[in-house]
Structure 1
Amino acid sequence: MEGLADYWVRQVLTACAAYDWCVSEFVRVNGELLPPRVLHRWCPELGHGARTLAGTPVHLQLLGSDPACMADNAALAVELGAPAIDLNFGCPAKTVNRHRGGAVLLDEPELVHAVTAAVRRAVPATVPVSVKMRLGNDDDQRALDNARGVQSAGAAWLTVHGRTKRQGYRPPAYWDRIGDIREAVTVPVIANGEIWTLEDARRCQRESGCQDLMLGRGAVANPLLCRELRDQHGQAGAPATWDQVLAVLCRFADSIVGTGTDAQLCGRVKQWLSYSRRRWPEAGPLLESVKRETLIEPLAEALHQAATRLPSRPAARPVTGSPA
């Protein structure tokens, strides 16, 4: 989720619905103990209790292949206030994999085990250490070896994206293979991949046998997806509407003004609009109308103007999620 789950996205999404927790973008560990400012840069929530402004806990994610160095940085992160450490063995980015990070390590179950075990030993027993992985690198032949390895290393739970690195983000996600992993280990398994709608979530639960889900791109495409999945009674909430989603996009655009270059910030808003087209056709014309805008403040204003032009409708029944 590099570039899609940064501080500003976390603030906006966790204000929309009650997530159990969220995870920082990965902090890359390359053979040295990082200065605290680097961890604070990737996880500013460390400065206020490791929670988003809405109160959602933020787990700090590390990516690397050196067990000792990963352990040292995990210990530092906990000293700085991280409530849990998540280890990334799922990133498919070529640059990351070329430097022995992310999903390429799934070809080496012994190393995945060693990194997990080293981090587990380095942090207090009260601090959970979790692992995020894909089914494999080029194939899924080592999926069970990796899962059993992180379990024996002391991982508290395992999140599995239902594709290999080679499969990237091409549909489908193989939720049934996540189920094979769930049956092979005793630690909790969280399913991830291609969960865009309530129907996707329910089918993923059936095919994987996992009750717990991790939302990634689907939560960006529909920032109210978590709310749709469960209300205060644990049942499906009210479906999101385009005016509600556009209001979230307006808040996001307002919040990032001044946090980067205009080109970067405009690109992020346009990316979000592009994802939204999966479900709301209204996002298409709006994206077309702003695609040449290069300044973030005029772009944000265009979103607000589009929101004011929407027809009024009765207020939706408020739905509040509750953590499991």
Structure 2
Amino acid sequence: MGFRNIIGRRLGLGLVRRRKPFSTATCDGDGNGNAKSINLYSAINQALHIALETDNRAFVFGEDVSFGGVFRCTTGLADRFGKARVFNTPLCEQGIVGFGIGLAAMGNRAIAEIQFADYIYPAFDQIVNEAAKFRYRSGNQFNCGGLTIRAPYGAVGHGGHYHSQSPEAFFCHVPGIKVVIPRSPRQAKGLLLSCIRDPNPVVFFEPKWLYRLAVEEVPEHDYMLPLSEAEVIRQGSDITLVGWGAQLSVMEQACNEAEKDGISCELIDLKTLLPWDKETVEASVRKTGRVLISHEAPVTGGFGAEISASIVERCFLRLEAPVARVCGLDTPFPLVFEPFYMPTKNKILDAIKATVNY
């Protein structure tokens, strides 16, 4: 049966219920196994190897994945697991996700790659109108919870307006899916394995800027990190900073500079944007009385606006200053003017000082 015919029959496939439950693994980000210093794309590659090795229902597919993909995240997978489980698809994002929905509805682990997050828009209808609603419309009689959609997102230094976008806010508006963004290699591996094994469809955005730049000790064993749990990665008392993905390293630099001026910053990595951990953020803001949110996406309609609204609703009487946002500009992502567009360390530092001195 041809690829397009399989996609055309996905609604019929959705009626087939799973014959066996999803496997699980211990949520153990520390573990006692060996750790190795690797970069982010290698951590993603490790997670995909483990996912395919531990579950014969797992499949990896997308444009160019069989030879390793543009960013080499799928290197060696086809050689080890065969082209029946790791295979290229036509250049058709709608078809990739549609096929993934049908595959997951049959009880499989469908790991679909969109080569750049900028090109996820042709698949938007499949994600928000099919994958996100699959369980709800059947009253939980059938679902496509085994679907994980991987996509490199964000600035890369030279991508311009078609290879640098951060579209996470579009998907955070959609009940029925999860949206996850890691900040580092260790987080990427553990969170991706959790996404693949989660009983809900997940959109997993990978910060392409960090594919080779970010390097840290990553456990070599199989481990998972919990979804929808924010992490306080830096304790502070004067202001709370909230971010995700590649922006965390920029924010941490700003925190270090602010500390030289006697400002104590608490830094939180949200990690899961949908559903996000309101309690951890709220507890921090109640302690500091001030909050700053930063992301690469344009400021208008960015997910920072949702966080800001929630904090104002839940912590209004504890706020000592307006909620600050340092984000991308309301323009198409520029090429030569990227340094002016990006929320930089200095922009964040200025906003920290202005908020603390309000």
TM-score, length basis structure 1? 0.31
Larger proportion of strand: 2
Higher relative contact order (CA 8 A, sep 6+): 2
